[in-house]
Amino acid sequence: MTIPVREFAHRRQALIEQMASESIAILPAAPERTRNRDVHYPFRQDSDFQYLTGFEEADAVLVLIPGREHGESVLFCRERDPEKERWDGFLVGPEGAVERYGFDDAFPIDDIDEILPGMIEGKSRVYYSMGLDAQFDAHVMEWINVIRSKVRSGAQPPGEFIALEHFLHDMRLYKSAAEIKVMEQAARISAEAHCRAMQICRPGMFEYQLEAELVHGFMRHGSRAPAYPSIVGGGDNACILHYIDNNQPLKDGDLVLIDAGCELENYASDITRTFPVNGKFSPEQKAIYEIVLASQAAAIDAVRPGNHWNQPHEAAVKVLCQGLIDLGILKGTLDEVLETESYKSYYMHRTGHWLGMDVHDVGDYKVGGAWRVLEPGMVLTVEPGLYISPNAEEVDPRWRGIGIRIEDDVTVTRDGCRVLTDGVPKTVEAIEALMAGA
Ligand code: GLY
Ligand code: MN
Ligand code: MN
């Protein structure tokens, strides 16, 4: 694991320092989910839990108690069990959790109903992310009700629930050097896989064959899964923003849009490239492509400390609009197009999102009603696009069915930003050269 154990301990400490006295935080691991009968979906740890623990098992609960004499950071987890481990693999167990993961104290998860109400009792505040897991919400209320049932014996139930995610998600927004290192590696793996997909692409192949190449590229470098379902959309399918059927043949003369990124050690990468199936852009495809590419350059240029969250989007929109006006696809002046938002027929999404453990990562985009100011350590995507529907009857037929997005992952640095995903080409010339050399 690239993130050192001590970094998880520091994160828990940093959260404890933000908590009020006489309080407790409760955070469950992700549940295992059944796919059918004896088969589970591949387990993926809850990002908040992972961020604070580095602990990869289900059936665990992290409890933080500022000022607790026997240690502030407590884990409930499965006990070791040779018979079970013979079938399902190694379990860390409470002792291992203390020794190897740096928790102050650990107990068997089967004892949580006996132990946790006593830990909550007397605390005035409970930090908990309500509403994410109805089953666990019910457990929390059961533990509170155990205390409430004993008020006549002097027990004191907590008076306040506080949203834990508010504190945690602000911490997750600022990536440490170790986190950036993992994200760089994830970006490198994804970039290499996109290059391979460009190189093997031929008319007549199916979209899923490019998807297979991407997944192969991810897993051969240690990624266990894509960070989100891969989009491989040939021709008109590129105009469907969340197209994941990936089951159509790729046609000579069409473009193909690939939006795919690996997840590595619980960190996402997120790359989109659009390229010609036969290796050569048509004049119409090239014209639209150059507009999207220029808008992405303008947006990336606006990613720097001191600029606010929306500035890259505003920069991208201006370039896209001017480009569409110049081609005669949009009518009116730039100001009119921006004012009426007529461009939204062809550009209907935002220019990016935070990136981290979740592909659409946590962190507020506005603070106190104003767009958030960019700061070093934040990681975001820059992903403008243009999508001219095959049914866009108001547009000259030669432009219809062209869908293009270009997406890179960038980290804000002290004096600007750094593109993590520049290992995959994006100029017309560089894409055509890579595909021609294949
Ligand atoms: N692949 C999801 C996104 O680009 O936001
Ligand atoms: Mn994407
Ligand atoms: Mn994205």
Task: Report the C-alpha gap between 309 and 382 in whole angstroms.
Answer: 11
Of 48, 207, 383, 408, the catalytic one is 383
Q: How confident is the model at residue 438 (pLDDT cuts 50, 70, 90)?
A: confident
Domain(s) of CATH 3.90.230.10: residues in the chain: 174-436
SS3 199: helix
Q: Who's near 299: CB < 8 A, 6+ residues apart?
A: 312, 313, 315, 316, 351, 352, 382, 384
Domain(s) of CATH 3.40.350.10: residues in the chain: 5-171
* pLDDT computed for residue 84 by the predictor: 95
**221 in active site:** no
Task: Report the C-alpha gap between 104 and 226 in whole angstroms.
Answer: 34
Closest CA to 107 of 137, 73, 149: 73
- For 211, how many CA atoms within 13 A lie in the half-sphere containing its CB? 20
Are 55 and 46 in contact by the 8 Å Cβ rule? The answer is no
CATH of domain 5-171: 3.40.350.10
Residue nearest to atom 3 of ligand 1 (CA): 270
pLDDT tens track for 42-86: 999 999 999 999 999 999 999 999 999 999 999 999 999 999 999
Question: Which residues form the pocket of ligand 1, taking CB atoms under 6 Å from any ligand atom?
Answer: 228, 259, 270, 353, 359, 383, 407
Task: Report the C-alpha gap between 42 and 45 in whole angstroms.
Answer: 10
pLDDT tens track for 224-258: 999 999 999 999 999 999 999 999 999 999 999 99
Q: Which helix (H) or strand (E) holds 382?
A: strand 379-382
If you measure from the C-alpha of residue 352 to the centroid of ligand 3, how many angstroms do you get, rounded to a whole number? 6
Residue nearest to atom 5 of ligand 1 (CA): 360
Q: How confident is the model at residue 168 (pLDDT cuts 50, 70, 90)?
A: very high
Of 10, 100, 202, 360, the catalytic one is 360
**349 in active site:** yes
Q: Is the pLDDT of residue 399 over 80?
A: yes
pLDDT tens track for 332-361: 999 999 999 999 999 999 999 999 999 999
Are 26 and 128 in contact by the 8 Å Cβ rule? The answer is yes
Q: Give me the helices (H) in 311-384, please.
A: 311-326, 334-340
Are 338 and 321 in contact by the 8 Å Cβ rule? The answer is yes
Task: Report the C-alpha gap between 132 and 146 in whole angstroms.
Answer: 22
Name the residue of 271, 382, 407, 421 to mutate for ligand 1: max ligand atoms within 8 A of Cβ. Answer: 407
Task: Report the C-alpha gap between 275 and 434 in whole angstroms.
Answer: 11
Q: Which CATH class is domain 174-436?
A: alpha beta
Report the C-alpha dihedral over residues 234, 237, 243, 247, rounded to 10 degrees. -50
pLDDT tens track for 277-301: 999 999 999 999 999 999 999 999 9
The answer to whether the Cα torsion of 293, 214, 281, 346 is positive or negative is: negative
